[in-house]
Amino acid sequence: MQKIMVIFGTRPEAVKMCPLVRELKARAGIQTVVCVTGQHRQMLDQVLEVFSVLPDYDLSIMQEKQTLFDITEKVLLRMQKVLEKERPDVVLVHGDTSTAFASALACFYLGIPVGHVEAGLRTHNLYAPFPEKFNRKVIGIISRYDFAPTAAARENLLQEGKEDSRIFVTGNTVIDALRTTIRTAYTHPELEWAKDSRLLLMTVHRRENLGEPMRQIFRAVRRACREHPDVKVIYPIHKNPSIRETAAEILGNVPQIHMMEPLDVLAFHNFMARCYCILTDSGGIQEEASFLGKPVLVARDTTERPEGVAAGTLRLTGTKEETIYHSLQMLLDSPDFYRDMSNAASPYGDGQASRRIADILLEPGAIVPELTAPAEFLKT
């Protein structure tokens, strides 16, 4: 029996790994061990609860205003102990977080094969997003199996010299998640509050947007509210205290804006399905919104999700007040512009990514012990 360890630690990884955990646990011939780092606490627990996933290990690393050094050091050292005890045949990590990077590094040091879920997304700037672009690239150096969500992601990996036979285009597991959470009869008091208005759903959290870029994004939203009385904004705020301070300063006293605690993923997906449009710097939301046909203004200078831009659902606005405001105004005032961005497209898959990944891992001979490095080398 193959032992597969699934590792994640933040909200977006959990949303995208829980469907895979559930799929692996339903299969015979696999022992699935779930290890969460707890890089996020409340935001991770919300997702585990929605998908009824109970981790076997929880490294509980989170601390308030943690730095990249804190996360990397704690994950690396605590993960070593878990990996040495469990000795999985393969470890699955996800995407581009510091949890994924430090866990893949720990596997590398111990000679344990790594499968990278959501592999191959790239921007052409090592600092955008920061540090995620670096994390994803380094995981790509370590990983033995790459589960690329799209053909373009696969192409990026081939261009970096990765072996064709170990890259699998599976779709993105975020669509698997989305297909289980949307409810036609969903209601919520906040949706009732916004029901006679056009609802702008918003999230902002990227490290590189903290400070002045975030202030500019918030000012653009405040201005859009002032000039469009029929707009209401729902903003579930990330738990990061730095974001909350800036949001309170600029958006605190605008009656059209409701700021609130992070929504659980079932609620958030249903808010997305009912909103007029979205403003975000999130990665996962770009993929989900494309599937739902909701226009997304992406408050970033680059995106590693060009498929959504090509499909027309995503528009990069940068982080200057003026350009964001201009795009908001176009969405609110130009029906043609709005219609052009509202076409549902599904460049990120059909909701079967977890099934495909499990099939690949279960194929006889698919998982082979890592590497050619001599045992004594790995022990030092």
- Identify which range of 1-9, 107-115, 264-272, 331-339 contacts ligand UDP by CB under 6 A: 264-272
Contact criterion met (CB below 8 Å) for 103 and 37: yes
Residue 192 CB neighbours (<10 A):
9
Whether 118 is catalytic: yes
In angstroms, give the least distance from the CB of 240 to ligand UD1. 4
- Identify which range of 9-17, 64-72, 150-158, 183-191 contacts ligand UDP by CB under 6 A: 9-17
Residue 146's DSSP bridge partners are 116, 167
**Options 4, 5, 6, 15; binder of ligand UDP; rule CB under 6 A:** 15
- Identify which range of 141-149, 279-287, 308-316, 319-327 contacts ligand UDP by CB under 6 A: 279-287
Whether 23 is catalytic: no
Give the contact letters, 99-138, x = binds to ligand UD1 (CB under 6 A), - = no. Answer: --------------------------------xx------
**What are φ and ψ of residue 117, in 5° steps?**
-90, 135
Whether 244 is catalytic: no
In angstroms, give the least distance from the CB of 303 to ligand UD1. 13
Contact criterion met (CB below 8 Å) for 354 and 23: yes
Choose the catalytic residue: 13, 23, 96, 307: 96
- Identify which range of 247-255, 257-265, 309-317, 348-356 contacts ligand UDP by CB under 6 A: 257-265
Write the CA distances from 14 to 37, 124, 136, 173, 279, integer angstroms. Answer: 11, 26, 17, 10, 22
Choose the catalytic residue: 13, 118, 287, 304: 118
Q: Token digits for 174?
A: 């975020």
Residue 160 CB neighbours (<10 A):
12
Choose the catalytic residue: 78, 205, 206, 315: 205
The alpha carbon of 167 is separated from its chain's Cα centroid by a whole number of angstroms, namely 20
Q: Tell me the C-alpha distance between 265 and 53, whole Å.
A: 14
**Options 222, 269, 315, 356; binder of ligand UDP; rule CB under 6 A:** 269
**Options 285, 314, 353, 367; binder of ligand UDP; rule CB under 6 A:** 285
- If binding is defined by CB under 6 A, does position 279 make contact with ligand UDP? no
- If binding is defined by CB under 6 A, does position 283 make contact with ligand UDP? yes
Number of H helices, E strands in the chain: 17, 13
Nearer to ligand UDP, 112 or 204 (CB): 204
> Residue type at 51?
F
- Helix orientation angle between 241-251 and 212-227, rounded to the nearest 10 degrees: 30
- If binding is defined by CB under 6 A, does position 305 make contact with ligand UDP? no
If phi > 0 it is left, if psi is from -120 to 50 it is alpha, else beta; for residue 339 that is alpha
Tokens 């011939």 identify what position?
29
Q: Token digits for 320?
A: 């200057």
- If binding is defined by CB under 6 A, does position 11 make contact with ligand UD1? yes
Nearer to ligand UDP, 144 or 147 (CB): 147
Choose the one of ligand UD1, ligand UDP, none that binds residue 161, judging by a C-beta under 5 to 8 angstroms depending on kind: none
**Which residue intervals of 117-199 are DSSP H helices?**
132-142, 151-159, 173-181, 189-193
- If binding is defined by CB under 6 A, does position 22 make contact with ligand UD1? no
Contact criterion met (CB below 8 Å) for 107 and 91: yes
Q: Residue 163: is it exposed, middle or buried by C-beta count within 10 angstroms (0-12/13-18/19+)?
A: exposed
Residue 230 CB neighbours (<10 A):
10
Report the Cα–Cα distance between both ends of the chain, in Å, rounded. 29
**Options 38, 284, 306, 349; binder of ligand UDP; rule CB under 6 A:** 284
- If binding is defined by CB under 6 A, does position 236 make contact with ligand UDP? yes
Choose the catalytic residue: 78, 136, 222, 238: 238
Nearer to ligand UD1, 194 or 265 (CB): 265
Choose the one of ligand UDP, ligand UD1, none that binds residue 285, judging by a C-beta under 5 to 8 angstroms depending on kind: ligand UDP
Please report, as ranges, the residues that interact with ligand UDP according to CB under 6 A.
11-12, 15, 203, 205, 236, 262-263, 265, 268-269, 282-285, 288
Please report, as ranges, the residues that interact with ligand UD1 according to CB under 6 A.
10-12, 39-44, 64-66, 68, 71, 96-98, 131-132, 205, 207, 238-241
